Chain A
């Protein structure tokens, strides 16, 4: 028991750091030390997770959780998102007069929920992780409580999220009722062929697809991102999607891996819809955060192409895609957060004019992030798309790949518009806040994009090792 608890050290570290922040905050309100405490916890957890990245997974607490391997990889992605979010928040929040210490604690607690999701082999625990993450995100979305937009965004996210929770729970109930277990490690041997079981699977999917903002459960995302503080929007777009996606992968790939034909097609349809709707809507979008939200919906579609391939290489591709997308999207949201300066926290595309002239480095990084989102070689986005598409081709889902390629070609149109816009010779305002540390994070993520694009073998091999060819998450 004790050893098992020790193995949960990264999560515990975050909890402790969060509690410490709350205590410190009550002693010295909104102290500038708090983000550093959060960063310390996050870095510690990241080191621990990276340390056990290579090894296989290990079950804890009688098969309740599994750490190392798959979960270590996902957790590393999540922690990366957390670190970037904390640093961007540190630069951004004082500008909107909301540099509350509690924010950092909430980010950490949200991460606790996410990391539990990525490690959980019991749907009960997955549900609890999901809720912990969600509740923290509802609050963070509505952070700027004196602003009607923030209220609206949080309200929509919250009500729809709670609505989705209802579905997820109902599905879980049916799964439990028909198989007699909520354990993912026992599920493969107990799959009955009753309609009720499949009703349960369908309802369960609603909740997960809602959290990753896949069509048709995506409509909250643009509104919520637009109203949320920009770094938090980046957090939602990357970390929460990664967590929910990994939980989905565990459920479908591991729990339901033996009955792949039953769910693969429907997931392919969802993926296709997401790619079409996400890119189509982004095409006509003028607000940068909304545009990134729609682009995020489209990217979920691409990642789902990997899962819909229902093969080891597809799952590996999806995992690789999560990292590639998270790095690029964190960067894009980070630049948006640093540059945004309107009091109503909006960022119309025209506001980007002149960014490149005023801050060439920031401009160049922005272009790099967007190009990776387009899927331009040799950046990570290209490699990620290639990985999922190749898996889908092998799975015989050529039509899905066709849609994927067409939509990503279309997506070039709106990304490039944003790339060109920033170099317009317009007199632009200086950066509203100094963001040396934030620029460092941006440089780091861009280096990651290049690295993943040029030397992807290491990571591809790593994620490939998590899965066996039977399609079950085993190692």
Chain B
């Protein structure tokens, strides 16, 4: 396979978008022709997948990385930004994930979105998303990467707001967009700074010259880019948009908010890992943020009652683990977890989608239960996904999670390792809870008895993803077995990532693995015992026992409320209600300050614009005097 085919990876989904979009926009009859739309959308992504597979098989690892230049995008003065793609082990691997999982989810959507009024729009956006995501992954230039970065954000916004007629959903979409813009802003500043230091944004140049950048500047750039990553990957402090993003159609949650887009932050860290390993302080912070996010989100997932919200918080938690992995220098392990997590979480979301589909839109797990009898296939695949996510060997999640945890232990971050372990335990608990409350026990709503298995077009992707959830981990066995010889993925990815070496004795590694396994098995056992026996009663019991803590969990640590106060109601409340220092601390004053001052300035200007001509003239005169004073001062 020739590397010259690379542009078609992006081009095919883009073509699909343009075709669906234009036909749908200009030819109303096309909008009702669902088969045509669906087949077009699925086939372009499937073709892209085949193409990626061809490149993966056809290009020997020794020849990578390759640079494929499409054309010169910007060439002005001393700055040039070509549209160029970078084919290396990392980008090729991500491409496979995006197109593979993407194709399955496209297929699933054909069934899930049937009869939807915005069918054509949905598939057009979905194709556009794939194109943007591939652009992000394959870009050889950080500016181009940013283009993809913005593109996926836009698609996410459009798809969350797919049912925009619903005000709440439209609001969720806007929230996701605005929160992401905060991260993007930091990202862009980081890019500009990087450009200033290095004089180019080409990946090759940037990574080569990373060592020459002065260390404080490097740290600041790293921090800014990391802040961008926290926005896209829903980490503290910018995670609040992801739970709300569940307002979109479920396949969208599976594709964008679980498998691909939210992992862009992890990808960015891995992509720039040669830069990050030079500033250990930033890495430490990344690890800390990741561990904290993993822990907090896992506790919140434990008490959610909306099936998709459980999965959303779970995603945040897993992403936190990936950041932890990246933060301790195990970038390839983090990408490995992106890979296994994509299968298991997409599977769980699609399973949840089938459940919601079968129950005619019901999302509250308190009104489910006993579904395993009515939907055996969904149950089986969901079970596999849950167990894989919980880290039960030999399913996929175990391997990648273990790789990150041993790296954390090996690099001397014992506390963070312990936090990771605790969040693994919590993961098993909430997955067990979800599984039991949805599929086991007695039905708690009449709709359950009418539930039925989804059509074949939706079942097929479930099976495909389930295979992945089971087997995806087998490409990366721990060092304990085969002394690294069986860790194929590590060797493949380490060509592109700058992993930190960590010397962990085999004994300690064995201990860590044993602990992980114990935690997984024990946690699942606990969950089944607790919720399997008592059902919902267990929730109530926990609520009674834990009291305020539980309430705090349920409200998501009230972060939402605090953000709400800082974001949304700054004008109504003003500064009359002084915020408690702790709240201010959690919320990160900067974000609130920016938006608050924007609205403050806005209303101030409106008040100044009184329509009074003399006032306008007065302001002009003041401005003129200001100019005069300035020039006089400069010339005297």
Contacts and interface: CB of A to CB of B under 8 A. Distances in A.
| A and B in direct contact, judged by CB atoms within 8 A | yes
Interface of A: 155-156, 159-160, 163-164, 167, 193-195, 197-199, 201-203, 205-206, 209-210, 215-217, 219-220, 222-223, 262-263, 266, 276-277, 279-285, 312-313, 316, 360-361, 364, 376-378, 382-383, 386-387, 389-390, 393-394, 398, 401-402, 405-406, 409-410, 412-413, 416-417, 420, 423-425, 454-457, 460-461, 464
B627 A206 contact: yes
Contacts of A209: 623
B192 interface: yes
Given A160-B617, A405-B188, A409-B185, A416 B177 contact: yes
A284 B606 contact: yes
A393 B196 contact: yes
A455 B164 CA distance: 33
Nearest to A204: B627
B143 to A, nearest CB: 8
Given A198-B634, A199-B628, A203-B628, A219 B599 contact: no
10 contacts: A223-B609, A262-B635, A313-B77, A360-B26, A377-B150, A393-B196, A394-B196, A409-B182, A412-B177, A416-B177
A281 B74 contact: no
A199 B631 contact: yes
Give the size category of B's interface with A: 35 or more
Contacts of A406: 185, 594
Contacts of B196: 393-394
Contacts of B577: none
B195 A390 contact: yes
Contact of B165 (A202, A223, A276, A424): A424
Nearest to B165: A425
B151 to A, nearest CB: 7
Given A210-B620, A383-B74, A266 B627 contact: yes
Given A283-B602, A284-B605, A410-B598, 6 more contacts: A198-B631, A206-B620, A360-B25, A382-B147, A413-B178, A457-B75
Contacts of A160: 613, 616-617, 620
A420 B170 contact: yes
A167 B146 CA distance: 45
Nearest to B600: A280
Contacts of A361: 25-26
A153 to B, nearest CB: 11
A409 B181 contact: yes
A316 B605 CA distance: 32
Contacts of B619: 216-217, 219
B5 interface: no
Interface string B150-187: 11001001000100110000100110011001101100
Contact of A390 (B25, B79, B154, B599): B79
Contacts of B620: 160, 163-164, 206, 210, 216-217, 219
A354 B310 CA distance: 36
Interface in B51-102: 72-77, 79
A203 B177 contact: no
Interface of B: 21, 25-26, 72-77, 79, 143, 146-147, 150-151, 154, 157, 161, 164-165, 170, 173-174, 177-178, 181-182, 184-185, 188-189, 192, 195-196, 594-595, 598-599, 601-606, 608-609, 611, 613, 615-617, 619-620, 622-624, 626-628, 630-632, 634-636
Contact of B632 (A156, A199, A217, A423): A199
B605 A206 contact: no
B182 A402 contact: no
Contacts of B599: 283-284
B165 A167 contact: no
A460 B74 contact: yes
A353 B303 CA distance: 39
A351 B605 CA distance: 24
A262 B631 contact: yes
Contacts of A219: 608-609, 615-616, 619-620
Given A401-B192, A456-B74, A194 B635 contact: yes
A409 B615 CA distance: 30
Contacts of B146: 377
Contact of A167 (B150, B603, B624): B624
Contact of B616 (A156, A197, A263, A394): A156
Nearest to A163: B617
Given A361-B25, A390-B192, A461 B75 contact: yes
A294 B598 CA distance: 14
B150 A376 contact: yes
Contacts of A377: 146-147, 150-151
A469 to B, nearest CB: 9
Contacts of B601: 276-277, 280-281
A280 B615 CA distance: 20
B184 A409 contact: yes
B605 A457 contact: no
B545 to A, nearest CB: 43
Q: Which 5 A-B pairs have the closest CB atoms?
A: A216-B623, A280-B601, A198-B631, A202-B627, A460-B76
Contacts of A387: 76
B195 A393 contact: yes
Contacts of A198: 631-632, 634-635
B511 to A, nearest CB: 47
Nearest to A454: B73
B630 A364 contact: no
A285 B603 CA distance: 10
A156 B25 CA distance: 43
B631 A202 contact: yes
A381 to B, nearest CB: 12
A401 B191 CA distance: 12
Nearest to A207: B624
Contact of B605 (A266, A277, A455): A277
A352 to B, nearest CB: 14
A386 B146 CA distance: 12
B147 A195 contact: no
Contact of A280 (B147, B161, B602, B611): B602
A276 B598 CA distance: 8
B185 A405 contact: yes
A156 B606 contact: no
